Amino acid sequence: MNYSKIVGTGGYLPEKILTNADLEKIIDTTDEWIRERSGIAQRHIAADHETSSSMAEQAALRALAAANLKPTDIDLIIVGTVTPDKVFPSTACLLQERLGTGKCIAFDVNAVCSGFIYAFSIADQFIRTGAVKTALVIGSETLTRMLNWNDRSTCVLFGDGAGAVIMQAANEPGVYSTHLHADGRYKDLLHVPSLLAMQRTPDEEPFLQMEGREVFKIAVTELGNLVDETLAKNNIPQSAIDWLIPHQANKRIIMATAKKLGLAEERVIITVAEHANTSAASVPLALDAGIKDGRIKQGDLLLLEAFGGGLTWGSALVRY
């Protein structure tokens, strides 16, 4: 039977950094207020010339280098994003052209902050069936371009960036299981009313809107359930998990999931203070950070998880 495994990771963060102190100068907020509620200290902001595809390219090149592969080795590109360069063609097709991969399969996935986990799961299925051998999976977002910078409840929470992984066929897992969920009944708790001016009513604005308290409660509950589901599927105890690689939205949500797993903070990859919430990019960026700084080692068992608009949520159990 075919399995998939991660053979390389890469990340890219824009050069411009916006700190909490910077935000204090433009909106009614404080560094203390932001840190207390989210754990965020700063975020990266894409330059005017940068797009989701250009950032994805940089992350992809670094992942390819880590895997010692060429762009032409890629059989499949999936990009998780809610901030595509264009309505169409897909960001994945634009990335394919940038990288010069040839005519590989390329498409986007929109599951908001769960986009990378969804894309990762899809790539795993492609490899398991034997349809492809090598997949490039990316989360890339320029989310700050859909923020209302007068809304202190949302604009302080998000940042831009891209993270990538290369997955290849293997004789042993690799990826043990992935678990995906969605509940559209909560669609209005975290959404953007419309991206296209022609679709908007006069009272709508094309900015991200969130009912933070409600999203927090559902996220803690469903991510806890997701931990139980993942452990049960693989018949393993909590103690088997070496590292939690969570979506970087809010440190309080992260630590609630860690508590469910019985993991100390030292066994959780946390980048939210430096990156803020980069939506689909947050999990691969955190994974890359943990690998690059040497905390995550070959053979470690990782639990990747995310929760986002839709509402959507998902996990992946991975042997690195």
DSSP result, the chain = --EEEEEEEEEE--SEEEEHHHHHTTSS--HHHHHHHH---EEEE--TT--HHHHHHHHHHHHHHHHT--GGG--EEEEE-SS-SSSSS-HHHHHHHHHT--S-EEEEE--GGGHHHHHHHHHHHHHHTTS-SEEEEEEEE-GGGG--TT-HHHHTSB--EEEEEEEEEESS-SEEEEEEEE-GGGGGGEE-S-S-GGG--TT--SS-EE-HHHHHHHHHHHHHHHHHHHHHHHT--GGG--EEEE--S-HHHHHHHHHHHT--GGGB---HHHH-B-GGGHHHHHHHHHHHTTSS-TT-EEEEEEEETTTEEEEEEEE-
At 206 the pLDDT is: 74
Cβ proximity of 277 and 81 under 8 Å:
no
Residue labelled with tokens 């433009």: 26
At 244 the pLDDT is: 98
pLDDT tens string for the chain (320 positions)?
689 999 999 999 999 999 999 999 999 999 999 999 999 999 999 999 999 999 999 999 999 999 999 999 999 999 999 999 999 999 999 999 999 999 999 999 999 999 999 999 999 999 999 999 999 999 999 999 999 999 999 999 999 999 999 999 999 999 999 999 999 999 999 998 876 544 555 556 678 999 989 999 999 999 999 999 999 999 999 999 999 999 999 999 999 999 999 999 999 999 999 999 999 999 999 999 999 999 999 999 999 999 999 999 999 999 99
pTM of the model: 0.96
CB atoms within 10 A of CB 228: 11
Residue labelled with tokens 């159990």: 317
At 202 the pLDDT is: 54
- Total residues belonging to the chain: 320
What span, in angstroms and rounded, lies between the C-alpha atoms of 91 and 108? 6
Residue labelled with tokens 């989310």: 143
Residue from 4, 13, 307 nearest 164 by CA: 13
What span, in angstroms and rounded, lies between the C-alpha atoms of 160 and 178? 26
Q: Which residues are catalytic?
A: 113, 247, 277
Cβ proximity of 31 and 9 under 8 Å:
no
What span, in angstroms and rounded, lies between the C-alpha atoms of 165 and 287? 9
All domains of the chain, ordered by start, with CATH?
3-171 (3.40.47.10), 176-319 (3.40.47.10)
